[in-house]
A and B are shown apart, each in its own frame.
Chain A
């Protein structure tokens, strides 16, 4: 048996951690050795002293700080751990564990949070990753290629294509399901989500159209500052699918994808209108947009706040006008327009109080030039935006202050530039004016035909007609372009028999002309 002080069995005997054989051995030692008994008593006294030390307690519940800190860490590094804290030495982390962690519900929740934060930060200054297909309100020649393809396809192919679209819509719905309980919050979500989600996904290479892992989306989302500095505007491939922030991937119209040239997209203006049933029926708003030659994309929000891609095009894909289905329905129209076009639209809305019952104009706080448009606001319109949306604009403000847009001269204040543009512009069109023949006109005055290779006979035709006029577009339009979100809501009952068919609505502008 070892020397008594060195005999660790005494400690284990004290702790009751010996086997039966070891215990018998120690008891034999204790019976024979007074030194062993002395040491055991001292160890027992020491143990008692230690166990009687006053207990330390935290004077607060740290679960809140713990979860907040964990949230911050997971948002900053949602998937890959940097250090294996269960081992003093750094442990290799294989791709399997990364994938496994990324696919856990908890990781998806936090990644979803990260995505939400990213898109909120990018709400007002998010160039899209998908190249544009230009559209003009009420443009009889504007052909949605995907719709045209579907219309020419067999019913089975068309059904398959629609099923794909529905899957895309569900994906978008999943994003938009972060909706507030009350109607106003739903509306705010409906307004916020389309714009927000644009910046979320990174562009997927055409050769590899696979979607990035969900957990990685937030890390890959461009930061607002980067977006603001890019000065490049890209638009969705068409329809409203771009609103849902999907990875672009290889769009069906691969050749139709084009990258819009550098231009100055400055601020997001939100215009909310309550429109009368008659104005909805007559598609008055669409005519105003057409008269201003405003390029638009469109998304609709149902009464429950979810965003849905709407197929309102005719079989020929000539019309994108909204066909209202029910009172309270919300229509979201995303557009890019020059100050002159916006001014004209707002003036037209103001000139028709019977059609546009109320107008709310919410300028981008970062753009002083937009503030003057508040004068067009009147009546009680749709609920004001959420504070979150306002807060989300702050990064935009910061980014813009740090990075002037590519074509905005740094030595010229935005307000001065806008005044010059307005002075050089033609008079504003209002209600009753004969709408111009809709053209597929880019807001910067450049002809899409110079950048987009025609893919079909209809494409060729539609691009050939307005190209001359577009290339002569006034230079003023190249200076500034604002992103505008029109939020329309029908107030009052929509008689069923007054709902225009697509074909009927197509004929309206023609009759006016």
Chain B
């Protein structure tokens, strides 16, 4: 598999198709993160596309001192923040559920269990959406995308200590919102 650096070099050499491979490689990962940041799938798709477009346009400024996806996430989060500032949606559980679309169907679970799982997922997403922007980004990058603190710090351009404290506060806030859900899960 061709690594990111080679695809970037080919893109900069005038082969846009190489960037297309980068898009395919990272689009779902970025989308799954962004959808929790912006709160709905439609906006998330726009944000992801814009992020890739801006990454393509500014690719020659990428110094490769960090991973491409880190740099891409920085763009994506800035685009998402801009997008959210423009929209500032107020979401209900129903809106979150509607906006999230159909969840992947697990055919091995009973319908009742699936419904309960879907409801839980919707509640969790709503709780995430209620977090402050600075907490939500850190939490999503850590819990949804699995980024390490150092990566989160690079993406959000924050000190490591700030990442750690914001993540802890985000978790505490979320724990308060989801107390019932967590108790039921247990």
A interface residues with partner B (beta carbon < 8 Å): 5, 7-8, 10-12, 15, 17, 42-43, 45-47, 49-51, 53-58, 61-67, 69-71, 73-74, 81, 85-88, 97, 100-101, 104-109
Contact of B48 among A43, A49, A62 (CB under 8 A): A62
- Whether the Cβ atoms of A8 and B58 lie closer than 8 Å is no
Determine the chain B residues whose CB is within 8 A of the CB of A105 once the complex forms.
Answer: 12-14
Q: Which secondary structure characterizes the binding site on chain A?
A: helix
Q: Across the interface, do A46 and B182 meet the contact criterion of CB distance under 8 Å?
A: yes
| Chain B 134-169 per-residue mask, 1 if CB under 8 angstroms from chain A, else 0 | 000001001110101100000000000000110111
Chain A residues near B78 (CB-CB < 8 A): 85-88
A86 contacts B74, CB within 8 Å? yes
Q: 4 shortest A-B CB distances, which residue pairs?
A: A63-B20, A8-B168, A50-B143, A63-B23
- Residues in chain A near residue B185, CB distance under 8 A: 45, 49
B45 an interface residue at 8 Å Cβ cutoff? yes
Partner of B31 from the list A58, A71, A87 (CB cut-off 8 Å) is A58
Within 8 A of A (CB), among B76-108: 78-79, 81, 100, 103-104
CB 8 Å contact bits of B9-28 with A (1 = contact, 0 = none)? 00111101001110110011
Contact B13 A66 (CB under 8 A): no
* Contact across chains for B48 and A47 when beta carbons are under 8 A apart: no
In the docked arrangement, what's the CA distance between A65 and B24, Å? 12
Are A57 and B103 touching (Cβ within 8 A)?
no
Residue contact A50 to B175, C-beta cutoff 8 Å: no
Asked whether, in the complex, the Cβ of B168 is within 8 Å of the Cβ of A73, the reply is no
Of chain B, the residue at the smallest CB distance from A47 is B143
Q: Which residues of A sit under 8 angstroms from B24, Cβ to Cβ?
A: 61, 63
- Residues of A contacting B120 in the complex (Cβ-Cβ under 8 angstroms): 49
A85-B79, A106-B14 known; A12-B182 Cβ under 8 A: no
- Which one of B31, B75, B139, B186 contacts A45 once the chains associate, using CB atoms below 8 Å? B186
B41-61 interface mask toward A, CB cutoff 8 Å, 1 = contact, 0 = none? 100110011001110111111
Please, which residues of chain B bring their CB within 8 A of the CB of A46? 171, 174-175, 178, 182
Given contacts A57-B31, A61-B24, A104-B60, contact A51 B143 (CB under 8 A): yes
CB of A24, distance to nearest CB on chain B (Å): 17
Nearest A residue (CB) for B34: A56
A318–B131 Cα distance when bound, in Å, is 84
A53-B144, A105-B12 are known contacts; what are 9 more A-B pairs with Cβ within 8 Å?
A8-B165, A43-B175, A49-B120, A54-B103, A55-B104, A67-B20, A73-B53, A86-B71, A106-B12
B42 to chain A, nearest CB (A): 12
Q: List 15 A-B contacts (CB under 8 A).
A: A7-B168, A10-B168, A12-B168, A47-B143, A49-B185, A50-B128, A55-B28, A58-B48, A63-B24, A66-B53, A70-B16, A70-B52, A85-B54, A106-B60, A107-B60
State whether the Cβ of B35 lies closer than 8 Å to any Cβ in chain A. yes
Residue B172, interface by CB 8 Å: yes
Chain A residues lying within 8 Å of B21, measured Cβ to Cβ, are 63
Give Cα A15–Cα B52 distance, bound, in whole angstroms: 30
Query: Which of B31, B45, B149, B181 has a CB less than 8 Å from the CB of A17?
Result: B149
Asked whether, in the complex, the Cβ of B14 is within 8 Å of the Cβ of A108, the reply is: yes
Query: Which residues of the partner chain B approach A100 to less than 8 Å between Cβ atoms?
Result: 60
Contact partner, A62, options B23, B121, B172, Cβ 8 Å: B23
Nearest CB on B from A216, distance (A): 17
Q: How far is the CB of A333 from chain B (nearest CB, A)?
A: 35
Given contacts A11-B164, A17-B148, A106-B59, contact A58 B143 (CB under 8 A): no
* Contact call A53/B60, Cβ cutoff below 8 A: no
A85 to chain B, nearest CB (A): 5
In the complex, chain B residues whose CB is within 8 Å of the CB of A61: 23-24, 27
- A11 & B12 in contact (Cβ 8 Å cutoff): no
Bound CA–CA A70/B11 (angstroms) = 13
By a CB distance below 8 angstroms, the chain B residues around A11 are 164, 167-168, 171
Q: How far is the CA of A69 from the CA of B32 in the complex (A)?
A: 22
**Closest residue on chain B to residue A83 by CB atoms:** B54
| Chain A: minimal CB distance from B68 (Å) | 13
- In angstroms, Cα B169 to Cα A55, docked, is 24
Chain B nearest CB from A8 CB (Å) reads 4
| Chain B contacts for A104, CB-based, 8 A | 12, 60
Bound: A66/B18 CA distance, A: 12
Known contacts A85-B78, A88-B81; A15 and B149 CB within 8 A of each other? yes
Q: Are B56 and A70 in contact (CB under 8 A)?
A: yes
Separation in Å of the A130 CB from the closest CB of chain B? 31
Q: Which residues of B contact A8 (CB under 8 A)?
A: 164-165, 167-169
Q: Is the CB of A66 within 8 A of B49?
A: yes
Chain A contacts for B16, CB-based, 8 A: 67, 70-71, 106
For B20, the closest partner residue in chain A by CB is A63
A15 to B168 Cα, complex, angstroms? 11
Residue numbers in B under 8 Å from A65 (CB-CB): 49
Residues 105 to 124 of chain B near chain A (Cβ within 8 Å): 120-121, 124
Given that A5-B172, A58-B45, A74-B57 are contacting pairs, would A49 and B182 also be in contact in the complex, using a CB cutoff of 8 Å?
Answer: yes
Distance, CA A74 to CA B32, complexed state (A):
28
CB-based nearest B residue for A14: B171
**B45 to chain A: which residues have CB within 8 Å?**
58, 62
Q: Contact between A85 and B75 (Cβ–Cβ < 8 Å)? A: yes
> In this complex, what residue of B is CB-closest to A69?
B53
Contact (Cβ within 8 A) A58 B28: yes
Chain B residues with Cβ below 8 Å from A85 are 54, 58, 75, 78-79
Q: Which single residue of chain B is at the shortest CB-CB distance from A50?
A: B143
Provide the bound-state CA to CA distance between A63 and B11, in Å.
13
CA gap between A100 and B44 in the complex, in Å: 32
Contact in complex: A56, B41 (CB < 8 Å): yes
Closest chain-B Cβ to A334's Cβ sits at a distance in Å of 32
**With A8-B165, A57-B32, A85-B78 in contact, is A62–B14 under 8 Å at CB?**
no
Contacts of B168 in A (CB 8 A): 7-8, 10-12
Q: How far is the CA of A67 from the CA of B32 in the complex (A)?
A: 21
B116 to chain A, nearest CB (A): 13
- Minimum CB distance partner of B78 in chain A: A85
Inter-subunit contact A67/B35 (CB<8 Å): no
Q: Do residues A101 and B60 form an inter-chain contact, with CB atoms below 8 A?
A: yes
B-chain residues with CB within 8 Å of residue A17 when the two chains form the complex: 148-149, 164
Q: How far is the CB of B15 from chain A (nearest CB, A)?
A: 9
CB-nearest residue of chain A to B186: A45
Q: Is the CB of B175 within 8 A of A42?
A: yes
